[in-house]
Amino acid sequence: MHYFALVKRRSHEAFQVLKEAKEKVKHGIQCLPPSKYFAGSCYTYMKTLPASSWERAHNNCLSLPMIKDANLLAIESIDEYEFIERELIGLKSGSESVSVYIGLRKINNTWLWSNDVPLKETPVYRFWVDNNRDILAYDCGILWLARNTSVITPAPCVEQALRPYVCKQTIDRCYNHSSNCGKYGKCINLPSMNSHKCQCRFFYTGDQCEKWSNQGLQVIIGCIIVVIAFIASYIINFDRSEDSWSFKKSNYEQYQT
């Protein structure tokens, strides 16, 4: 029994490895080197083409050749943060720390990501450290990494030294939004519109397939009418058969007398 359990476990592990390899191959084709794929997006660490300002880094991401709809990195989850920290950037041997521009900027005293989501509303706000809140010129965000720690922190938007940055291109908008379509919908990517939509089942409609569709209601009402008509027809025919039987029985009794 122990042997078969071991074989079953090893087979499951092998299947998972093959599945992950298949996913990497599938998505790796979509991300042009040196970009890396993670959770529906391609990430490019621009360390060989650093920028002298946040604005320059932002514009460079928008104008990347052969890459559409890229933007300066907006970090939306803890898993994404850890991917950026460990797999995309990391630290070279002998390096003490590194800092990169990210898609975070203070607008009207509110820190916003490049996708217009406030920093405070995202899970990565836990990594935010603002030791320069009294310095007015520190209006742009950077990701600072050292060997044992990493933080998101403010920095000057324009500097004399060049700073690397990270560009992000979302290629699968359904990756993080498939659950938004509910139980009765399927998420469909719209690459030409840089968006996605929910394709609802026949009986449902709405942005999240949460409402009955007119066609669905018509079908349901039609079915109810058919059932009611069938029941009514059955009752009428049953009454007629009862009347007919009573009439025949009465005639038979009269004939006997």
Amino acid 177: pLDDT: 65
* pTM to 2 decimal places: 0.65
Amino acid 142: pLDDT: 94
Amino acid 18: pLDDT: 40
Amino acid 58: pLDDT: 93
Per-residue pLDDT of the chain (257 residues; tens, 9 = 90+): 554 565 456 555 544 544 554 454 444 446 878 889 998 889 999 988 899 999 999 999 988 766 667 899 999 999 999 999 888 887 654 567 889 999 999 999 899 999 899 999 999 999 999 876 655 678 999 999 987 889 999 999 988 789 999 999 888 878 766 667 888 888 887 766 667 788 888 888 888 888 877 776 666 777 888 788 777 776 776 555 555 555 455 555 555 55
User: CB of 83 within 8 A of CB of 134?
Assistant: no
